[in-house]
Amino acid sequence: AQAILAQALKTEGSRARCATPFLKLLPPPPHSLRMLFGRIAAASRAAAVRGAQRAVPLGFPGAQRTASTGAFPKLMSIRYDGLMAKCLIAAIVYYVPQDVVVLAGMFWSWHSTSSSISPKKKQADAEAALEAFKAKKGLDDLKVYKGRSTWHVTL
């Protein structure tokens, strides 16, 4: 083993120098692995160049714009078969019918309360009905708002 180690330390070959002599005993990486690392290095250099070209001067030397231009982050992808989508669908299916029942009951209660306080009645002649109301209540000056289909009387 010492002879192999001494042999490895003497031979330099085409391999790069290593910090430990044991790595020299390993065979060189296959051609495809070297090509993969080369492509990764080239892509990182190209990304660095593109990032430097995106810097926009702001009117004086040395200033550059580095903030994001978007108003909010964009989602990269939404998987409709993922956990988040399934949980949202289940929550909608479970809670919406309950909410509809509760809100319908609340609106019906509000409508019946307001109808009992101030019922509306269709009048054939609105002017005559207003004069009859004034005479019945003994009022002289009323403020009348004449809407398209409803009149409102205030004191």
| CA distances, 69 to each of 49, 56, 77, 108, 145 (Å) | 19, 12, 20, 48, 52
Task: Read off the pLDDT of residues 88-137 as tens digits, 9 standing for 90 and up.
Answer: 999 999 999 999 999 999 999 999 999 999 888 888 888 898 889 889 98
- 70-93: average pLDDT: 82
pLDDT of res. 14: 44
Residue 35 has pLDDT above 90, yes or no: no
Q: What is the pTM of this model?
A: 0.37
Residue carrying structure tokens 């490895």: 8
